[in-house]
């Protein structure tokens, strides 16, 4: 398992530097950003969003360096047109009603035409971690083995408590918005690539999707790269959190591929149970309880995070990541996830404007 590669994609909100409001100006920002970042930066469904992608990375130091460069360079490009990027899953107060779908791409025009208000409401930003798996059968089988841990990754990354000026009560309201897509949700437990292709073919035949790229599971084999793509997480408020999530995702893949090779049974889980656990993680984040995959019942969130670190400990050691990931996760538990810190900014009398100021300050500099 040496040399298992990974890559990270981050979606950001585009905001006006003066008002902090969402700015539907990706059509202006993209050409400026591409002068420095090339195809590492792309448009998203809505014009108030933009996405960056790291190159293929071998170590977490590569991930950190790439994310720092991408964030800082993109933010500098945005400043040239009076904007900035905001690493939050949902904007604290701007409404989706004031935004616009990117109509420069036929794919996005078709999505708006088909899904209507559902597409217009997707003013949300996530983090996707790609873990390299060359064998497509192994990628599909591993998907079912790691899915019970998606709620824990979500709780650590949760960074979207506000929606249209309201505290939703959720740490990740983004997940609640995203799950409205007809093909969103927990992936099924499939044996191999043939079984996965059969599901895709059924959905295409039924008119649910055009192709596999419209399969919005929270975890899926990438249609473009030989990777397993983790998609449940909110965009990280800071780079430390993004690096921690990337390290944990890779370690989970390493752990489960090794366990399968030794004939160790996977943790028993159903799509319904993982879905319910994801709701709990989205609602409460690191407060109260998460569902322990090992015990199959709710336990204190910090204990479940510790359980995850124990499960992937050997894989973290193999990659030389244990000390860094453990320290980064301890930092998240100590200071709170992004949702905690957003609410903290409001409580410190900054109001919702204070959330934007705080998030802008964490664009590229680890806390």
pLDDT at 207: 85
Tokens standing for residue 53: 């992608």
Domain boundaries, the chain: 6-361
Give 8-48 pLDDT, tens digit per residue.
999 999 999 999 999 999 999 999 999 999 999 999 989 99
Distances in Å between the Cα of 55 and the Cα atoms of 6, 8, 172, 188 are 9, 8, 27, 29
Query: How far apart are the C-alpha atoms of 66 and 288, rounded to whole Å?
Result: 34
pLDDT at 2: 53
pLDDT of residue 104 exceeding 90? no
Query: How far apart are the C-alpha atoms of 193 and 275, rounded to whole Å?
Result: 23
Do the beta carbons of residue 151 and residue 296 sit within 8 Å? no
Give 64-94 pLDDT, tens digit per residue.
999 999 999 999 999 999 999 999 999 999 9
CB atoms < 10 A from the CB of 251, how many?
A: 26
pLDDT of residue 366 exceeding 60? no
> What average pLDDT score do residues 293-313 get?
96
pLDDT of residue 155 exceeding 80? yes
Query: How far apart are the C-alpha atoms of 242 and 49, rounded to whole Å?
Result: 18
pLDDT at 211: 85
The band of 367, judged by pLDDT with boundaries at 50, 70 and 90, is very low
Give 255-291 pLDDT, tens digit per residue.
999 999 999 999 999 999 999 999 999 999 999 899 9
Do the beta carbons of residue 366 and residue 65 sit within 8 Å? no
Q: Which residues of 183-205 are buried (b: 16+ CB within 10 A; e: fewer)?
A: eebbbebbeebeebeebbeebee
User: What number does CATH give the domain 6-361?
Assistant: 3.30.590.20
Give 107-142 pLDDT, tens digit per residue.
888 888 888 988 899 999 999 999 999 999 999 999
pLDDT at 365: 61
Give 308-354 pLDDT, tens digit per residue.
999 999 999 999 999 999 999 999 999 999 999 999 999 998 899 99
Count Cβ atoms within 10 A of the Cβ of residue 209 and give its class: 0-12 exposed, 13-18 middle, 19 or more buried: middle
pLDDT at 1: 45
Tokens standing for residue 206: 């039924």
Nearest 5°: phi and psi at 124?
Answer: -135, 155
* Most confident segment among 3-12, 115-124, 151-160, 177-186: 151-160
Report the chain's mean pLDDT, rounded to a whole number.
94
């Amino acid at each position: 398992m040496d040399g298992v590669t990974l890559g990270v994609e981050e979606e950001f909100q585009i905001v006006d530097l003066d008002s902090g409001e969402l700015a539907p100006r990706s059509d202006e920002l993209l050409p400026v950003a591409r002068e420095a970042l090339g195809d590492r930066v792309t448009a998203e469904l809505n014009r108030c969003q933009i996405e960056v992608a790291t190159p293929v990375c071998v170590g977490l130091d590569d991930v950190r360096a790439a994310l720092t460069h991408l964030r800082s360079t993109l933010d500098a490009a945005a400043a040239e047109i009076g904007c900035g990027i905001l690493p939050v899953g949902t904007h604290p107060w701007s409404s989706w009603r004031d935004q616009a779908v990117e109509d420069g791409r036929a794919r996005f025009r078709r999505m708006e035409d088909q899904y209507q208000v559902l597409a217009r409401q997707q003013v949300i930003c996530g983090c996707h971690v790609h873990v390299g798996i060359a064998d497509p059968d192994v990628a599909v089988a591993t998907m079912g083995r790691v899915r019970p841990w998606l709620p824990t990754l979500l709780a650590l990354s949760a960074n979207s408590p506000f929606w249209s000026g309201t505290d939703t009560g959720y740490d990740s309201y983004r997940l609640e918005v995203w799950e409205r897509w007809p093909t969103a949700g927990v992936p099924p437990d499939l044996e191999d690539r043939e079984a996965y292709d059969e599901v895709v073919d059924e959905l295409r035949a039924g008119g649910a999707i055009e192709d596999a790229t419209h399969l919005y599971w929270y975890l899926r084999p990438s249609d473009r790269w030989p990777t397993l793509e983790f998609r449940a997480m909110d965009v990280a408020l800071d780079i430390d959190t993004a690096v921690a999530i990337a390290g944990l995702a890779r370690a989970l893949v390493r752990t489960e591929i090794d366990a399968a090779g030794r004939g160790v049974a996977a943790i028993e889980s159903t799509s319904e149970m993982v879905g319910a656990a994801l709701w709990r993680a989205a609602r409460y984040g690191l407060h109260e309880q998460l569902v322990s995959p090992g015990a199959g019942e709710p336990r204190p969130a910090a204990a479940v995070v510790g359980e995850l670190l124990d499960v992937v400990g050997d894989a973290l050691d193999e990659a030389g990541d244990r000390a860094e990931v453990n320290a980064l996760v301890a930092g998240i538990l100590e200071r709170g996830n992004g949702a905690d810190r957003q609410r903290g900014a409001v409580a410190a009398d900054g109001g919702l404007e204070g959330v934007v100021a705080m998030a802008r300050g964490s664009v590229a500099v680890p806390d």
